[in-house]
Amino acid sequence: MPHNRPQPGQYAAFYEKYIALVPDGDYQTILENQLQLWRQLPGSLTDKQSDFRYAPGKWSVKEIVGHVSDAERVFSYRLLRIARGDQTPLPGFEQDEYIRTANSSGRSLASLLEEFESVRRATITLVRSLDDKAWLQRGVASDKEVSATALAFIIAGHERHHWVTLQERYLPVLGKA
């Protein structure tokens, strides 16, 4: 598991907002706790409610869940490659294009959450498999140097960012806060 919070210089400045959202503590426990929170979501929202957007052009609840899964897959893949010492620069990804083609609105919220759980379980398994040397590896993703440790924190912080957005902008409007 990552032993220390990544330092500036181990990731692009853009990711600071995600890394700052990760609480102190055992990293695997943090990932598990996040998964438990998402498991509560389908009990509080209907499929119709999960199509809600708090403003025009904003993602629906379903799209957020799909995005969190897609992004975690991308970040975990980067973590795998970099932790294994692969120095091949890794490309970025356009999140809005992923949303447009993911068909999250055509799926049930339960199926999207089931997918997230599968992705998160794979992330947890990967994280458990890495040794101290792997956590120190660095590579390039989206044209910026990044450490394996930073990628792990980005995964947890990205999830936290979207969970907070759901709690602040979606659930109160739906009467679920």
Instruction: Record the pTM.
Output: 0.95
In the chain, what are the domain boundaries?
13-170
- In this prediction, residue 177 has a pLDDT band, given cuts at 50, 70 and 90, of low
Fold of the domain built from segment(s) 13-170: Four Helix Bundle (Hemerythrin (Met), subunit A) (1.20.120)
- Annotate 22-72 with three-state secondary structure: CCCCCHHHHHHHHHHHHHCHHHHCCCCHHHCCCCCCCCCHHHHHHHHHHHH
Q: Does pLDDT of 110 surpass 80?
A: yes
Q: Does pLDDT of 15 surpass 70?
A: yes
Contact 158, 71 (CB under 8 A): yes
Looking at residue 61, its amino acid is: V
Q: What is the pLDDT of residues 144-161, one digit of tens each?
A: 999 999 999 999 999 999
At residue 41, the pLDDT reads 82
